[in-house]
Amino acid sequence: MAKKVVATLKKTEGVKNFTKVIKAVKSEKTGAYIFKEEIIPQEMVKDFLAGK
């Protein structure tokens, strides 16, 4: 299913390039890792991974 989302975003002309990012975040409550998944513009990838 992820391939369809990415392929659909690439077909649209005049739109920024998007990237699907997955970040592992450790829960303070349980200590387990939670995966945060988003589709964001390529310019925002470094900010997303840095936690901003």
C-alpha atoms less than 13 angstroms from C-alpha of 8 in its C-beta half-sphere:
7
pLDDT tens-digit series, residues 15-39 = 668 889 998 999 899 999 999 899 9
Report which residue type is found at 12.
T
pTM: 0.55
Count of domains forming the chain: 1
Confirm if 45 and 17 have CB atoms less than 8 A apart. Answer: no
Element holding 3 (H helix, E strand): helix 2-11
Its domain, for residue 6, covers 2-50
Element holding 31 (H helix, E strand): none
Q: Who has greater pLDDT, 5 or 40?
A: 40
Distance CA 35, CA 23 (A): 6
Residue 47 pLDDT class (50, 70, 90 cuts): confident
